[in-house]
Amino acid sequence: MPGKLKVKIVAGRHLPVMDRASDLTDAFVEVKFGNTTFKTDVYPKSLNPQWNSEWFKFEVDDEELQDEPLQITVLDHDTYSANDAIGKVYIDIDPLLYSEAATVISGWFPIYDTIHGIRGEINVVVKVDLFNDLNRFRQSSCGVKFFCTTSIPKCYRAVIIHGFVEELVVNEDPEYQWIDRIRTPRASNEARQRLISLMSGELQRKIGLKVLEMRGNAVVGYLQCFDLEGESGLVVRAIGTACTLDKLSNTSAFLPACNSPSKEMKESPLVHPPSHGCRSTHNSPIHTATGSRLTQNFSVSVPTLIYTGMGSGSAGKEGGPFKTLLRQQTQSALEQREFPFFTLTTFPPGFLVHVGGVVSARSVKLLDRIHNPDEPETRDAWWAEIRQEIKSHAKALGCHAVVGYSESTSICEEVCILSASGTAAVLNPRFLQDGTMEGCLEQRIEEASPPGCGFCHIPYDELNMPFPAHLTYCYNCRKQKVPDVLFTTIDLPVEAIVVGKGCLIQARLCRLKKKAQAEANATSISNLLPFMEYEVHTQLMNKLKLRGMNALFGLRIQITVGENMLMGLASATGVYLAALPTPGGIQIAGKTPNDATYDQHISHMQKKINDTIAKNKELYEINPPELPEEIIGSPIPEPRQRSRLLRSQSESSDEVTELDLSHGKKDAFVLEIDDTDAMEDVHSLLTDVPPPSGFYSCNTEIMPGINNWTPEIQMFTAVRVSRLSTINPTNQTLNKNFNDLCENLLKSLYFKLRSMVPCCLCHVNFTVALPEDELVQIAVTAVAITYDKNQALQANKAPTEKSQQRASTDNEEQLQFPLELCSDPLSSQPFSPAKEVLEGASSHTGIPAAQRVLKSHSGSWFRAGTSPEIDRCNSWIELIKLKAQTIRRGSIKTTTSLEKASPLAEGYLRHRSVPSCTNSTVSVVKMTPLSFLPGAKITKYLGIINMFFIRETTSLREEGGVSGFLHAFIAEVFAMVRAHVAALGGNAVVSYIMKQCVFMENPNKNQAQCLINVSGDAVIFVRESELEMLPVQPSTAAPQPTSSAGDVTT
């Protein structure tokens, strides 16, 4: 009996009138946990009952404590007929199960009914007494902390990052059970809510067990999703990163650690002595003499769809026998792991050594009824397959790990697309195992590559590239090779040197598909996927170039399947990395050069494109200073090609020939306008309107180039459902409609938030669903943060000045951030044996015939080895590159003093003013999809919030139609999240995410139903201004520079 759960029902307020005759309610409460139920007395004739119940005590296993939600039902007593339910409150008591989180849950909870929504509030107090023999039987995993945050949480330090944990549980969906035909919608909804709550609890417990097995104590980047597979069942699955975390208990110690990025970025060079920058271990492809840390850079073998965007260059080569040789020598900490994946997107400094590029895999599956819920092997096997593929892709890129890893599904009828993606990377093993090798590592750190560019350096062998790519010497350190474009799924590393500001870049795409059944449907979908990926990639590349940028962060590609179409939506944040080369322009080429008017048109378009690029460079302040020749390192890169080739291809039937044409050795980045489709493509490139002045947007945690946030934030969710109404839809018209839909939505957001200018929309997260024929649903969650314009100007000036200072080797600069000191002495030694061995290797044997066709047409991409008839699985790897100037991210010293000035003081006042009226008003709970709150420090994590709600109506018109219905529901979900956080004693939710919003309507029947699943971390934050009184801790007192910088979320 390891736990005692105690519940007290205090009071209710604003209850609905249940008795029409008296206009009052005779309310009582049922408190249920597991199979035990207690009841309060009936409080007669009141809408504001005061029950003041005794403590209801449940004596239960900790396993039960983890799985079961506490279920509180408010009812209206009726002497003559059945008691009427008013509504329910589900309370997840997990936060009470580990010592560092909340100790009591106490507060007003909205009473929720799936048909009527919120109906009054109830005041509840919940406590748990845990006994000491906890964890003896290891069926439970009480004590393992869960975080949605995809970075090491503030006020913790990562001792070890163990790695990937995953689990899934399946069950029948109550909505599809036979009993559903005879029960009320309310009963059905409640059964579903309860089941999912139970399954989430079980899932979390099982993951916790795995973490304990790995000797970890926490899961970071925990992402739990539901697959509503309809007839075939309900899958709840979760992934995360197991860690051993240390709480930074000393207040002064965590002070620097818990800084919001704005401050952190400014302070870090000051706080951490010179060695700070050198943490990343050098790990270039041609650097082999590093003993146990030897990586598998050369293991390039798996044939796969690789698309780089570079038309020219040599084809990939295979590692062959040499690879095997190296493998044998390799003893990476990751080697033993089944899946060296990390769901983190932000890392402690030095953790990320090199980034290879985006790896992703998709698989189309036919759903089948899950016969035995206790044996979820099929689903497990599906995911295992995909993960295996991701792993091999990473290897192909010379990387031993995948970071920023995530998984998703899209389901339509019985077809399901499983997707996984991440960023191939080489990691510093220091964090991955116990500190035994700490000593030898410290040494190597000295020779590490510079922090600002190290992650850009290619992890694979230049002569053994998995795909053709154009490499140059790093524009920052001049020692290592870098690609000319880089795509990643992670956040921008804090130490990255960026020029100008970033911006949200989206690729949008529709593809019509014939309605089909089962196998045929799955086959046609899997046939379409590679074309979509190619197109999405092309769009991203073009849009990136159009903005004069050279890297994408936070890339998320969502492919959604509907009855008669597929949709692709890719979002990422474009930036200009100083380490990568300046991107070339875009050239347009016409097919019929003799036609004068046509030529004129082409040149007009060209001019427009050039103008746009110039305008964007100005808008995003991309003006990398030209490096004086003398400081360019000895291996002067070959004259930069002005432009490279990237074809915009249409999907038309003459694909094959077109691909052939494109395959030339053109040394230009050319968009060929060979038909109206291509014309449309170019037009659509130019239709993306930049945000209105004063606005920036990005889908990463913070906006590169802005670092002076004020505490004013506004999190929001916007949902639109539109009919892509065309009588004879074509891909082009659908594309246009979809594009307009997204653009209009963004425009509408900018308008709504105009009062917050100057501001940035951060973590803009689009989700697309196709609920019905021709209906597209887009849901956006993001946070708008106001920044201080004056300080922004100041900070913007800094980079340029700094870079100039750096060019003249300014002493002070070096002390702060010694880029020059940490160049790698070994980098210039070519590893000649590798070249020879690899030269001979060639094996594209794994590529199936079908894929080879594609490959032969476009030298730049090939498809993964999957047997199409069984698996309909395909995947691709992206990898991109660039070059640039040495620009320092502007710091720091100049702005620190300003930072403490007005905005914070204002925030302080604002914050103060709130508690003064808490007597009568509800306490304010902030919500944000980011892992931090600007101008504030998170002092405590109270536990994970993971909530699932269903709302249904049979009076849709009366509730204001679909918009009225959903508006109210989303507001209710926010309210319930806030109430739970407040009851835990928190004042904010960070890393908030709406994972699912499934909306269905039947206007003819006046009905609608919606399911929403949200999660996040409940926290307590304190305004920085309130902490200022505390003594500022010198940098050395931080327990570990790693942890403090780990908090630097980007």
Partner 1 sequence: MSSDLDVFVGNTTLIDEEVYRLWLDGHSVAEAVARRLRGGVLEREGTSVAVLQSDTRDHYRTFQMLERLLHAPPRLLQQLLFQIPPERQALLVQRYYAFDEALARELLGKKLSKGTKKELDEVSARTGVGIRSCRRQFDNFKRVFKAVEELRGPLAENIQQLFLLDYAAIVFFANSRFETGKRRLQFLSFADFAACAQSMMGHWSQGALGEPPDPRAPEAAEPDGDLPKSFLQDLKELKVLVADKDLLDQHKSLVCSALRGKISVYNELEANFKALSRALVNVGGKLTHARDVRDFFVDLVEKVIEPCRSDKWSPGDLRLFLTHYTAARHQALWERYMAAITACLLRMYHD
Nearer to partner 1, 231 or 740 (CB): 740
Least distance to partner 1, CB of residue 43, Å? 19
Q: Which value, in Å, is the radius of gyration of the alpha carbons in the chain?
A: 29
Nearer to partner 1, 716 or 908 (CB): 716
The tokens describing 721, both together, are 């459902």
Distance (Å, whole) CA 197 – CA 224 = 12
Distance (Å, whole) CA 296 – CA 49 = 67
Nearer to partner 1, 113 or 1047 (CB): 113
Nearer to partner 1, 127 or 720 (CB): 720
Among 47, 103, 97, 37, CA closest to 76: 47
Q: Is-contact 65 72, C-beta < 8 A?
A: no
Nearer to partner 1, 486 or 782 (CB): 782
Residues that bind partner 1 (CB under 8 A): 13-14, 108, 110, 118, 121, 692, 714-725, 737, 740-741, 744, 747-752, 754, 775, 777, 914, 917, 920-922, 924-927, 960, 962-964, 966-968, 970-972, 974-975, 978-979, 999
The tokens describing 402, both together, are 């995948």
Q: Is-contact 997 226, C-beta < 8 A?
A: no
Q: Is-contact 539 678, C-beta < 8 A?
A: no
The tokens describing 66, both together, are 């983890």
Nearer to partner 1, 142 or 973 (CB): 973
Buried b (16+ CB within 10 A) or exposed e, 862-901: bbbbbebeebbbbbbbbbbbbbbbbbbbbbbebbeebbee
Least distance to partner 1, CB of residue 50, Å? 15
Least distance to partner 1, CB of residue 147, Å? 20
- How many residues can be counted in the chain? 1050
Q: Is the peptide bond before 625 cis (omega within 30 degrees of 0)?
A: no
Q: Is the dihedral of CA 596, 597, 598, 602 positive or negative?
A: positive
Nearer to partner 1, 11 or 384 (CB): 11
Distance (Å, whole) CA 236 – CA 776 = 25
Nearer to partner 1, 752 or 900 (CB): 752
Nearer to partner 1, 118 or 402 (CB): 118
Least distance to partner 1, CB of residue 976, Å? 8
Least distance to partner 1, CB of residue 697, Å? 16
The alpha carbon of residue 266 and the mean position of all alpha carbons in its chain are separated, in whole angstroms, by: 25
Least distance to partner 1, CB of residue 754, Å? 6
Distance (Å, whole) CA 511 – CA 568 = 8
Nearer to partner 1, 61 or 906 (CB): 906
Alpha-carbon distances of 791 from 732, 733, 888, 904, rounded to whole Å: 44, 44, 17, 13
Least distance to partner 1, CB of residue 926, Å? 7
Q: Is-contact 745 811, C-beta < 8 A?
A: no
Q: Is 280 strand, coil or helix?
A: coil
Nearer to partner 1, 402 or 1019 (CB): 1019
Nearer to partner 1, 132 or 728 (CB): 728
Nearer to partner 1, 477 or 936 (CB): 936
Nearer to partner 1, 620 or 974 (CB): 974
Nearer to partner 1, 425 or 567 (CB): 567
Least distance to partner 1, CB of residue 981, Å? 11
Buried b (16+ CB within 10 A) or exposed e, 424-444: bbbbbbbbbeeeebeeebeeb
Task: Give the H/E segment covering residue 589.
Answer: strand 587-590
Least distance to partner 1, CB of residue 727, Å? 13
Least distance to partner 1, CB of residue 76, Å? 20
Q: Is-contact 186 114, C-beta < 8 A?
A: yes
Distance (Å, whole) CA 323 – CA 326 = 5
Least distance to partner 1, CB of residue 568, Å? 18
Q: Is-contact 156 1043, C-beta < 8 A?
A: yes
Least distance to partner 1, CB of residue 717, Å? 5
Nearer to partner 1, 91 or 721 (CB): 721
Least distance to partner 1, CB of residue 85, Å? 20
Q: Is the peptide bond before 417 cis (omega within 30 degrees of 0)?
A: no
Least distance to partner 1, CB of residue 726, Å? 8
Buried b (16+ CB within 10 A) or exposed e, 782-797: bbbbbbbeebbeebbe
Alpha-carbon distances of 429 from 272, 293, 357, 706, rounded to whole Å: 21, 7, 19, 32
Least distance to partner 1, CB of residue 491, Å? 22
Q: Is 980 strand, coil or helix?
A: helix
Neighbours of 823 (CB within 10 A): 20
Buried b (16+ CB within 10 A) or exposed e, 575-591: bbbbbbbbbbbbbbebe
Least distance to partner 1, CB of residue 692, Å? 6
Q: Is-contact 217 143, C-beta < 8 A?
A: yes
Q: How many distinct helices (H) and strands (E) make up the chain?
A: 22, 33
Nearer to partner 1, 584 or 929 (CB): 929
Nearer to partner 1, 495 or 1001 (CB): 1001
Least distance to partner 1, CB of residue 48, Å? 10
Q: Is 604 strand, coil or helix?
A: helix
Least distance to partner 1, CB of residue 987, Å? 12
Q: Is 1037 strand, coil or helix?
A: helix
Q: Is 886 strand, coil or helix?
A: coil
